[in-house]
Structure 1
């Protein structure tokens, strides 16, 4: 069961990640629609996912959250009052450096509903509120136009295109890097 609410938006809440969330988070390592969009080359077992959760929660330089639907926005079929319906994950690494690195994913059945934008905005607010980083960086595959548009809509600047940077799902893929500086986010 997801941990306590850390931040709340209009339709989603960010909850702390608990070891019991490994089964849901393993989606990122097993569903090719998610795994390939994250550049993960190999599957990850439930035990490996649980170990990663433990390592991340013990790291001073990492934040990780489950993106959960607010009960009022849960699709039909979800239990009434269940504010712990996870739909994705968002995390930040290198919070003890100059630029944090942001990663995020949503279960494919929740793409295109605006949950990702709201979750990323909440976590970037949290990063700048609680850590002295100068900026936040993020990346997307060159063919993932939706993720690129999400970052640009939130004020991230496209910085570079890395040609054939990663071999994923049987082909080399371009990567696109983005960032937003603290002063840009705060204005």
Structure 2
């Protein structure tokens, strides 16, 4: 069950990731439509528990109804639909990662969740930029980043093993000044 509200807009809420969210994470990672696209091996519960103990800011992307409490999410009023993370923020440029359950793709929730994560990152950390990465062939993810103002900064050839083969990854960056100017 997701925890307290970190950020919210009209449709999407970012809530703290709690140990009770591990079954949601495990079910999602077991879905080939998500796991193959992420290039991640299937993890058991113990592996996911250790993964959630790292220093990453990890949030559950939720759809809350009007009865949802800001401090504590009731399963009847909060529907988790994905995860967004802010990685490496304590020692270098933060890197955003994100995914949604397949049945929520194409509805704009990903763009809203990543936008909230960008706002959170720039409010919380003094870094001048954030980064993100997408598989070269993932037009939806690349389009999401570009729609938010990210600029392509480079390509890592054969950067990840995903869905049976190596794929190129495209690195993106977004300067704080660019984000501020676009959101004045």
- Secondary structure, in 3 states, of the residue corresponding to 1:43? coil
Q: How many residues align?
A: 174
The answer to whether the aligner puts 1:36 opposite 2:30 as a matched pair is no
* TM-score between both structures, scaled by the size of structure 2: 0.89
Match of 1:45 in 2: 44
- Label 1:119 to 1:181 Cα distance change in 2 as closer, same or farther (>3 A): same
Q: After superposition, what is the alpha-carbon deviation per residue over 1:58-100, rounded to whole angstroms, capped at 9, x for unaligned?
A: x2xx21100001326xxxxxxxx94321000000111123410
* TM-score between both structures, scaled by the size of structure 1: 0.87
Measured in 1, the distance between the counterparts of 2:121 and 2:96 equals 10
The gaps in structure 1 that reach 5 residues or longer are 73-80
Q: How does 1:69-108 map to 2 (within 5 A)?
A: 69-71=63-65, 82-108=76-102
**Segments ≥4 residues shifted beyond 4 Å:** none
Alignment match of 2:124 (pick from 130, 140, 144)? 130
- Secondary structure, in 3 states, of the residue corresponding to 2:43? coil
* Aligned-pair Cα RMSD in Å: 1.7
Match of 1:111 in 2: 105
- Label 1:22 to 1:173 Cα distance change in 2 as closer, same or farther (>3 A): same
Match of 2:70 in 1: none
The gaps in structure 2 that reach 5 residues or longer are 67-74
Q: After superposition, what is the alpha-carbon deviation per residue over 1:89-140, rounded to whole angstroms, capped at 9, x for unaligned?
A: 0001111234101100000010000000000000110000011112111001
Shift of 1:32: 1.4
